Amino acid sequence: MSQFIISNELLYKSFIIGAKQVISEKNGLNSINVFPVPDGDTGTNLASMMNAIIERSKLGSNPKETLQSIADAAIIGARGNSGIIFASYISGLSDALHQEMIDLDTWITLTKKAYEAAYHSINTPVEGTMITVMRAWMNALSEFKKATTEAIDLLIQSYEYVKDELARTPEYLKVLKDNHVVDAGAKGFVHFIEGFIKAFRGEDIVIEVHEAVEELHVDHLEDSQFRFCTEALLRGNQLDMDHIRTSLSTFGDSLVVAGNERTLRVHIHTDHPDQVFAFLDGFGQIQEQKVDDMKRQFEAANHRKYPIALVTDSIADLPTELVDHYQIHQYPITLHMNHSEYLDKVTIQSSRFYELMDSLEIYPTSSQPNGKSLENFFSFLTTYYKDILVITVSKEMSGTYQAFVDAAVKFPKANIHVINSKQNSGAEGLLVLKAAKMIEDGLPLDKIVAKIESMTAKAKILVSVKTIKYMVRSGRLTRLSGTIVSLMHLKPVISIDEEGKGIIMMKTLSTHKADQKIFDHIKDIQNRYGIESYAIVHANANDRASFYASSLEGLLGEKPTYIMDISTVVAMNAGIGTVAVAYIRKDLT
């Protein structure tokens, strides 16, 4: 038998080409993703991890360094149930490697340790999934080494055996059998082995994402299934993986915890991501959070109401029932607090933030969306939509608009249009709702874009701030300006100008007078133009919001479109007790 040796260079090349193979099959893997949830993103998640390996890993001076670099990249880039299990497999390979030379027996031992690490990372392992074909690969290498005389023949025969095991996955899981598909995660692992073997043949791959051969349509999500696929990268010292896994098992299912005592990647399906992150916050710094709404993903993959995907950020205040009805994809803004990261409206709710905001030594900050995360987001959406409309918070207030624009450029085959709302909070929410209704009415994307862009000047928000101390702490007002306003006992009304910049629109001597000035403004707009729609948003100020609702209903003759608590990011700047009216005036033309 020709000598089976994996050199340092071949090891690195094998992983890179295996990664390219998986990325090329992303759409096909998405199209058959029905387990554990039919949310159509297994290919996207595996591709994210493989891209991280390609971009972050380095060829080390020896196999141990190389494999450690690959494992670190995999943990950082891991997404989804299958992605984190795969990352745990690679970490198992790395942790078990101690020799300078990788011969056949060493490689078989490594695959055994890798399988054990992957299996151990899963709270409730299920046969018929990726874990099954990982074990098949390990067993095949061990068995076929007795029968073949050539290294490449050993790999090919083992690969064929693993493909047969992949074909048998529907025998283990009824949901696969009912939908006439194999497990998507398992197939992703087999594609990796396919690319891995190509490296041994001296071949390479040019990444070209193939179109899905077919698209499944699953009827419904089970009522027992949790809504949010929740993930975090946790960094700390002496992290106890087993303790964290056991404790998290009460929060949901599909739990996977992979990594080491310094860095852990956590994955869980839950209805309460905020509770999961409140728990994790006690162990270390939470970084690179990801929470996917599996209900929305399921709808995109199987039950799209509309041909256009409507996207906005979490600063757009719009009730969950309307977001769900119109299948709006709401991307969460990141909030930095207590040395950890949180996702607005997802891993932290306004109610918890209100409890913490007065005791924080370092006031929280927000940041624009992560570029790689947005690419993953668009990677999923473009699998199912050709037309995507994004409406963002004012670009004068945040880098969110530009982040979406930059990410959209990387998907030239999709028709992605990004609109700067020049608004925030309820005003942004009303514009998103207007776009949703036009999509429901069947208008083409170009007409919707033109209409929304013209309406940004007709939308407005007027904010009555109870105290300006939060605006000073967040940096929205300079400390000097805040001191002057406080000394004069002013109660400002905040708004947004035509360019999308925050302004002090009115200065009053009491909250009552601020309320009255806002009502007078609304009355004037109603008389001059007419109010098409309006909403009331607030920061833990239900009584004031109810007062505004009754006052404006009497003034306008109709109830607000909605009343809701504002996003955590907006609350951070406005502060507790704030109430605001957002509206879109009618078009006289």
Fold of 5-200: 1.25.40
Report, as an integer, the average pLDDT of 325-341.
89
CATH of domain 459-585: 3.30.1180.10
Report, as an integer, the average pLDDT of 351-368.
78
Residues 6+ apart with CB under 8 A from 516: none
Residue 351 pLDDT grade (very low, low, confident, very high; cuts 50, 70, 90): confident
Residue 219 pLDDT grade (very low, low, confident, very high; cuts 50, 70, 90): low
d(CA 505, CA 426): 17
d(CA 173, CA 158): 23
Residue 206 pLDDT grade (very low, low, confident, very high; cuts 50, 70, 90): confident
Confidence (pLDDT) at 483: 47
5-200 and 304-333+368-455 have identical folds: no
C-alpha 445: how far from its chain's center?
25
H/E run at residue 288: strand 285-293
What are the sequence ranges of the domains in the chain?
A: 5-200, 304-333+368-455, 459-585
Report, as an integer, the average pLDDT of 482-507.
74
Mean pLDDT over the full length of the chain: 89
Fold of 304-333+368-455: Rossmann fold (3.40.50)
d(CA 194, CA 179): 25
pLDDT at 329 over 60: yes
pLDDT tens-digit readout, 514-530: 999 999 999 999 999 99
pLDDT at 221 over 50: yes
Phi, psi of 164 (to 5 degrees): -65, -40
Residue 536: strand pairing partners: 563, 581
Residue 470 pLDDT grade (very low, low, confident, very high; cuts 50, 70, 90): low
Residue 478 pLDDT grade (very low, low, confident, very high; cuts 50, 70, 90): very low
Percent of the chain with pLDDT over 70: 92
Confidence (pLDDT) at 324: 97
pLDDT tens-digit readout, 382-427: 989 999 999 999 999 999 999 999 999 999 999 999 999 999 999 9
pLDDT at 140 over 60: yes
The pTM assigned to this predicted structure is 0.78
Confidence (pLDDT) at 482: 46
Confidence (pLDDT) at 484: 42
CA atoms within a 13 Å half-sphere pointing along the CA-CB vector of 115: 17
Residue type, 79: R
At 218 the three-state DSSP class reads: coil
Residue 125 pLDDT grade (very low, low, confident, very high; cuts 50, 70, 90): very high
d(CA 510, CA 481): 18
d(CA 104, CA 86): 22
Structure tokens of 223? 């009522």
